[in-house]
Copies of this chain bind each other. A is one copy, B any other.
């Protein structure tokens, strides 16, 4: 059952060194309040799973500004020089994954699949250390499931039960990550009464949400 909590309480539950998935694409659709609070509470040594490193001062970029990340699974970090510096200085252990494989691995983790077979990456550096599996003579890479202890999700509307909808390109990885973590913590642009979101417009059903951050 979803609980409504303050941002301080929610982040206090995340231990240093935790694995944390964060929704968003270049900082769009990212739960900024949770990131600000992670910085305030100085949660160090995080294993971050996020599409990108955003930019300094924005989205998960704040975690790199505060050097809280020790492992990163992402698809690109090209627009955050701080993340690049920390990677080149070996302060961050980084695993770069093609974006389609990244989201399928998280989806697999959330949907109880062991992994998926993808053509992406066959014959490239990405195939190193991965199993190659043929189906009908075609080669595929086995990309295995990813899960995290926490998923930090940003929604557009959340109702009192925890049903979520997302807006425009801020949806991105949020609903997929909301299925793939032991504990799902959500911020929303608007909190609305039950029934305001039509059943056909709910993207993340309420039972997936553990904590909703209250306003103010």
Chain A residues within 8 Å of B, Cβ to Cβ:
104, 108, 112-119, 133, 135-136, 138, 140, 142, 144-145, 165-168, 171, 199-201
Report, nearest first, the 6 A-B pairs whose CB atoms are least far apart.
Answer: A114-B117, A114-B140, A114-B135, A115-B117, A113-B116, A116-B116
| Nearest-Cβ distance from residue A78 to partner chain B, whole angstroms | 25
Instruction: Given contact pairs A104-B113, A116-B117, A135-B142, enumerate 7 new A-B contacts (beta carbons under 8 Å).
Output: A108-B117, A113-B140, A114-B118, A114-B133, A135-B144, A200-B201, A201-B201
Per DSSP, are chain A's interface residues mostly helix, strand or loop, or mixed?
mixed
Q: Closest chain B residue to A134 by CB distance? A: B114
Whether A114 contacts B119 by the Cβ 8 Å rule is: yes
Whether A112 contacts B119 by the Cβ 8 Å rule is: yes
A167 to B201, CA, bound (A): 10
Query: Known: A167-B200, A199-B168, A200-B201. Contact between A138 and B114, CB under 8 A?
Result: yes
Q: Closest chain B residue to A167 by CB distance? A: B200
Chain B residues within 8 Å of A108, by CB: 116-117
Chain B residues within 8 Å of A114, by CB: 117-119, 133, 135, 138, 140
Q: Closest chain B residue to A112 by CB distance? A: B119
Q: Closest chain B residue to A203 by CB distance? A: B200
A142 to B117, CA, bound (A): 9
A194 to B75, CA, bound (A): 34
Centre residue among A104, A113, A118, A165 by max chain B CB count within 10 A: A113
| Nearest-Cβ distance from residue A145 to partner chain B, whole angstroms | 7
Chain B residues within 8 Å of A165, by CB: 200
Chain B residues within 8 Å of A118, by CB: 112-114
| Nearest-Cβ distance from residue A29 to partner chain B, whole angstroms | 12
Chain B residues within 8 Å of A167, by CB: 200
A106 to B67, CA, bound (A): 43
